[in-house]
């Protein structure tokens, strides 16, 4: 077991499974009230896996990972706690294919919302709509300018003065659960 694992310690379990494959088109699978999570340029495999786990926990329809870490790498799978096998995941090469995918999602009726550290609308004030694609950028770099230009809306999580940013997974959790809560709230 020690020779097979890449982490410092193993959990005493080996599982051999087929790769779940990728969703070809997410637009039809994003039902009313659901969110599709998109991560662009997330480099750390632990963050990539944790993003998939948070998306699964919040009831997201699926995850798109553009560039950065492989969500099916050993460290990402471990961080996902099995969520990579429950959610559809599409892996794209980087920003240009992601911009094409965003255009397809928008044509399929999804609102595309980008998370930025400053200058976006307070996420608590945004009514995200019924079908949403939430886009987060990688650690440090955030969203690339061409991606920012492709967004329907930009949102920001207000932070206490003196705090520059939070981890990408923490931001995803706040936004995904915030949007899910909005959809679950009874309308007046």
At residue 102, the pLDDT reads 94
Reported as a single tens digit per residue, the pLDDT across 24-50 is 556 556 666 678 999 999 999 999 999
Q: Does residue 5 have a pLDDT over 90? A: no
- What CA–CA distance (Å, rounded) separates 165 from 19? 34
Q: Where are the domains of the chain?
A: 37-157+165-183
Residue 134 contacts residue 36 (beta carbons within 8 Å): yes
Confidence category of residue 158, pLDDT binned at 50, 70, 90: very high
- What CA–CA distance (Å, rounded) separates 56 from 63? 9
Look up residue 109 and give its DSSP letter: T
Comparing CA positions, the residue from 127, 104, 110 lying closest to residue 34 is 110
Mean pLDDT of 131-155: 93
Average pLDDT, the chain: 86
Reported as a single tens digit per residue, the pLDDT across 57-92 is 999 989 999 999 999 998 999 899 989 988 889 999
At residue 32, the pLDDT reads 67
Q: What is the pTM of this model?
A: 0.87
CATH superfamily of 37-157+165-183: SPOUT methyltransferase, trefoil knot domain (3.40.1280.10)
Comparing CA positions, the residue from 133, 137, 98, 102 lying closest to residue 117 is 137
The 10 Å CB-count burial string (b at 16+, else e) for 74-109 is ebbbbbbeebbbebbbbbbeebeebbebbeebbeee
At residue 53, the pLDDT reads 98
């Amino acid at each position: 077991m020690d020779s097979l694992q890449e982490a410092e310690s193993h959990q005493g379990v080996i599982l051999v499974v087929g790769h779940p494959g990728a969703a070809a088109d997410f637009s039809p699978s994003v039902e009313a009230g659901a969110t599709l999570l998109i991560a662009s340029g997330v480099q750390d495999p632990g963050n990539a896996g944790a993003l998939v786990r948070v998306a699964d926990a919040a009831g997201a329809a699926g995850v798109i990972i553009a560039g950065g870490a492989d969500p099916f790498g050993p460290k990402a799978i471990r961080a996902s706690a099995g969520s990579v096998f429950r959610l559809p995941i599409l892996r794209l090469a980087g920003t240009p294919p992601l911009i094409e995918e965003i255009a397809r999602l928008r044509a399929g009726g999804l609102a595309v919302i980008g998370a930025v550290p400053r200058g976006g609308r307070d996420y608590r004030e945004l009514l995200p709509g019924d079908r949403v694609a939430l886009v987060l950028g990688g650690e440090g770099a955030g969203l690339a300018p061409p991606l920012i230009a492709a967004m329907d809306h930009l949102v920001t999580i207000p932070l206490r003065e003196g705090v520059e940013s939070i981890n990408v997974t923490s931001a995803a959790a706040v936004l995904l659960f915030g949007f899910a809560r909005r959809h679950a709230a009874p309308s007046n």
